[in-house]
Amino acid sequence: MKSLAITALTTLLLTAGPFGAAADEFPSRAVRIIIPYAAGGSSDTGTRLVQESFSRELGQPVVIENRGGGGGLNATDAYFKSDHDAHTLLLGGIAPLTIIPNLRSVSYVPERDFVPIGTVWRSAQTLVVRPGLGVKTVAEFLAHAKANPGKVTIASAGLATVAHLAAELLEREAGIDLINVHFRSTGDTLPQILSGQIDGLFGDASLVAPHVKAGTVVAIAVAAPHRSPALPETPTFGEAGYPTVEAEGWHGLGVLAKTPAAHVKRLRDALSKAQASPDYQSRLKNQGGSAGEPGPEAMSKLIRTDSAKWGVIVKAANIKMN
């Protein structure tokens, strides 16, 4: 009996003492973020901007792992099929969470299986054209398109990307007929417009901004409720009379639905504090980007509203994905 009492007391002390606290502490090791895209794009940029301050708030290293392929679907699908704990986060994007599920069957339901932590990048799609097209405003562009139906070429970063759907949305709302030309990324489209091979493109404001400032492309309008910090002098489509033409690319962190609530709260609090830090805000401003409205509720709303919105456009345009 005495031996049993000593054993029980020892167990209690270990559980209640520093060792027990350490066992329950989260995070207890490095935190990994899986980015379902190759390095170098806006998703990668937005995540790396917050990496240092997020790590500082969590008290653990934050490691980024890029796994490109399938427009973000491959790594996203693998994540939802995994048994990851809260030490592994997914960078959820507009394509795999709201567009692709409208195009084909996937193994997950974003609103059920994904618990948002918060957005790290939002960038409005911006319509830019080659200078030789001779248009500088939305009215001039639409007049040119209507005068040349089925002849104006607009490039996108790929079939069913937000850039492609932005063009489809503009066609629908303005009653014009464009030729959509699909490439593998915005980076692939830029040489085409710079060489005059295509008339225009929709691309992330932060990516096209240097070319706008250099005068090699002309910015027509930003597809967002507010002007972009990357292109503050470029009006929105709303200012030009088309408030429903809104298309923003976004990315945000999240975890599996099975994650303990206490761990979710810890991640959310850490991200919120990280994004409020002056050094993070400075780096974000230098990139001409935005993290959008802070907090998990804003990201949850994005998933709901964009899924419904782009579902309508996908159906109306009869877009198919193999």
Give pTM, 2 decimals: 0.84
> Residues 187, 203: one domain?
yes
Q: Per the structure, how many domains does the chain have? A: 2
User: Is residue 243 a part of any domain in this protein?
Assistant: no
* Residue 99: how many other CB atoms lie within 10 Å: 27
Does residue 82 contact residue 99 with C-beta atoms inside 8 Å? no
- DSSP code at position 235: P
Note whether 249 and 204 are within 8 A (CB). yes
Neighbours of 309 (CB within 10 A): 18
In a domain, 236, yes or no: no
Cα 276 to chain centroid, rounded: 19
State how far Cα 47 lies from the chain centre: 10
Nearest residue to 121 via CA among 293, 300, 316, 308: 293
Of 168, 189, 223, which one is at a domain's C-terminal end?
Answer: 223
Q: Report the DSSP beta bridge partners of residue 115.
A: 255
| pLDDT per residue rounded down to tens, the chain (322 residues) | 444 444 444 444 444 433 333 446 999 999 999 999 888 778 888 999 999 999 999 999 999 999 988 888 999 999 999 999 999 999 999 999 999 999 999 999 999 999 999 999 998 899 999 999 999 999 999 999 999 999 999 998 888 889 999 999 999 999 999 999 988 777 788 899 999 999 999 998 888 999 999 999 999 999 999 999 889 999 999 999 999 999 999 999 999 999 999 999 999 999 999 999 999 999 988 887 788 888 999 999 999 999 999 999 999 999 887 6
**CA distance linking residue 307 with residue 322, whole number of Å:** 19
Residues 56 and 80 occupy one common structural domain:
yes
Asked if 13 and 6 touch (Cβ cutoff 8 Å), the reply is: no
CATH code (residue 160): 3.40.190.10
The answer to whether 151 and 199 are in contact (CB under 8 A) is no
